[in-house]
A and B are shown apart, each in its own frame.
Chain A
């Protein structure tokens, strides 16, 4: 279990930096099709903000924002978003992840439907990656606890 850091510099810098990391991660996700990055990279940067929060302010305060149970739910939602958009394209008569078919229900041109569809898929990937990275972080940083403690967390 990580205790809260007693160093004022680390805590102040983390408090200042975490909002900017989250905004930058959202930028990377949203501009994934224009610039380097995308769902996976944006999700990793989002998870990095939680890692920084956990290291500087302790696991208790991090669990209040993203608990193990919430991480599991969010990762499932992300995979559902990805698979759901892909399956929706199948139902509308195209191939898997054939975004142009989404234009029928979104009432936009096929080009705009492709842009919106890939954005939705990237948001799903980012949510899944962020939640799984948080799960890995919690699993590594609580490994020293006794097995009973570890089970009670689950």
Chain B
């Protein structure tokens, strides 16, 4: 069963690389914001998979919830900044 989660985790890392491409070379600033937000969501899943693999899910679930909260707040603050600077 651990092997299954490791394979899922590696697949998630590949997806993170794809999102990183969009965040780096995105044509507009909105593409970059969406890419960064997607990377945060996938990092959360990778953290939970690591928790399952190391059998410490009760520890990792706290970290992943904080990560989800800060990811949301970061996206909102970025959107507010773009709204004020008039780039969008």
Residues of A within 8 A of B (CB): 2, 5, 10, 14, 17, 21, 24, 28, 35-37, 41, 45, 48, 51-52, 55-56
Contact = CB atoms under 8 A, between A and B. Distances in A.
A23 to B, nearest CB: 12
Contact of A28 (B58, B59, B66, B73): B66
A90 B73 CA distance: 42
Interface size, B (range): 10 to 19
B59 A36 contact: yes
A43 to B, nearest CB: 12
- The A contact surface, by secondary structure, is helix
A45 to B, nearest CB: 6
B49 to A, nearest CB: 17
B61 to A, nearest CB: 9
Nearest to B78: A55
Given A24-B69, A28-B66, A36-B63, A56 B58 contact: no
Contact of B73 (A2, A5, A37, A48): A48
25 contacts: A5-B80, A10-B76, A14-B76, A17-B69, A17-B72, A21-B69, A24-B65, A24-B66, A24-B69, A28-B62, A28-B66, A36-B59, A36-B62, A36-B63, A37-B62, A37-B66, A45-B66, A45-B69, A48-B69, A48-B70, A51-B73, A51-B77, A55-B76, A55-B80, A56-B76
